[in-house]
Amino acid sequence: MIKNLLNGSFEEKQNCCGCTACSAICPKHCITMQRDSEGFLYPVVNEKECVGCGQCERVCRIKNPVKEAEFEQKAFVVQLLDETQRRESTSGGAFTAIARYILEKNGVVYGAAYDDDLRVCHFRVCDAVELRRFRNSKYVQSFLGDAFSKVKEDLKQGRWVCFSGTPCQVEGLKSYLGRDYETLVTVDVVCRAVGSPTVFESYMKMQKKKYGDNISAILFRDKHHGYKYSNMTVRDNEGRVVYARGVESDPMLRAFFSNICDRPSCYNCLFKKRYRVSDFTIWDCFQIHDINSDMDDDKGTTNMLIHTDKGRRIFGEINSVRRYECRPEDILVPQSAMFKSVPYNFRREAFMKDFSESPSGSQTLIEYFPDSYSVKIKRIARLILVKTGMHDRVKRIYKKVKGS
């Protein structure tokens, strides 16, 4: 039986990625996913209803990890031909191309989007217009709800299904289903880690207090200053930008990239590997100028690994992208997030404790990540480099000097 982890220690919680497979497969429906103080979901078992069947233990991909084995992969760099949709996407819009292919087959698509309260949840869509909800990164863990069981219902009805998510979510779904379906297409996004939903909720309250309740979108990776300058953007109900700060100065982005509020399992992630169970793995391509100089490098490009014959066949039938085939090594070498877990931030325990005890969590966020004089200097310097067209060149030189 799955151990109740809601109030467990940090070390115990490292053994749960929150994929919901155990809850979805329980024949007695006696396992629910409940939030802890950090906003992360953990399984809670109603022991009075549990019959001890052990299905929850067998479906768990942390307790029963998939053994990685080498197989042939195809590698591409991809750019969506529709420039508007590519602009809205985090990178090159490859997921939109795959999702549209599935919808054209009268299929359905599952992905992470904001609900009316700007919480990140998994949704099911049947309309290409709705795909825009899935574009742009969300650096918090999505609430899957009953997505796994809905996917299974769609597949049993013979419908095509595209499911996108983090590697642990995709492995959880495949384990829950128990077998492959010809009409199931899975896309995992290379994931650095997932941040605390509670911290993000406090950040949203801070923004709403400043800009009012008419906020329609918070974009973690908006291309406000170009593709290679990670930017947090807040838009109002009219679509106007009311706030835009870069990764060097926005407190939520700084918290996320400092690894101070990640899910415990992310510090020792078992899903960081090259050979995956999905059909497609996609992530940012910042080094397109080194791979194909004929493709532009500041509107967004997607790196893509295709793991299955199904994926290769589907991608071969997609005509809504420009693509360039390369060796897997060409796109894997500069990618550390695919293979390495984020390092543990030793201030995490103090930060989360201060955060939970503070009357205003956003105040703790500001105290740990203040808009100091040095931060202001960095922000001004980066904006000058962006406006003068020097940002990318300086960034490449800096990385070359640092050897990263």
Which residues are CB-contacts of 354 (< 8 A; sequence separation ≥ 6)? 364, 367, 368
Residue 281 has pLDDT above 90, yes or no: yes
pLDDT score of 250:
94
What mean pLDDT is predicted for residues 256-277?
A: 96
CB atoms within 10 A of CB 317: 8
Residue 271 vs residue 361, higher pLDDT:
271
Say if strands 161-165 and 184-189 run parallel, antiparallel, or are unpaired. parallel
Confidence of residue 402 (pLDDT cuts 50, 70, 90): low
pLDDT score of 391:
66
Torsion sign (Cα): 283, 287, 289, 290: negative
67-100 burial, b if ≥16 CB within 10 A, otherwise e? Answer: eeeeeebbbbbbbbebeebbebbbbbbbbbbbbb
pLDDT score of 403:
60
- pTM to 2 decimals? 0.93
Domain 10-59 bears CATH identifier 3.30.70.20: yes
pLDDT score of 95:
95
Confidence of residue 286 (pLDDT cuts 50, 70, 90): confident
Residue ranges per domain, the chain? 10-59, 197-261+341-402
How large a percentage of the chain has pLDDT more than 70?
A: 96
CA distance linking residue 49 with residue 34, whole number of Å: 17
Residue 75 has pLDDT above 90, yes or no: yes
Residues listed for the chain = 404
pLDDT per position as a tens digit, 8-55: 889 999 999 999 999 999 999 999 999 999 999 999 999 999 999 999
pLDDT score of 104:
96
pLDDT score of 327:
94
Would you tell me the crossing angle of helices 361-368 and 348-357 to the nearest 10 degrees? 140
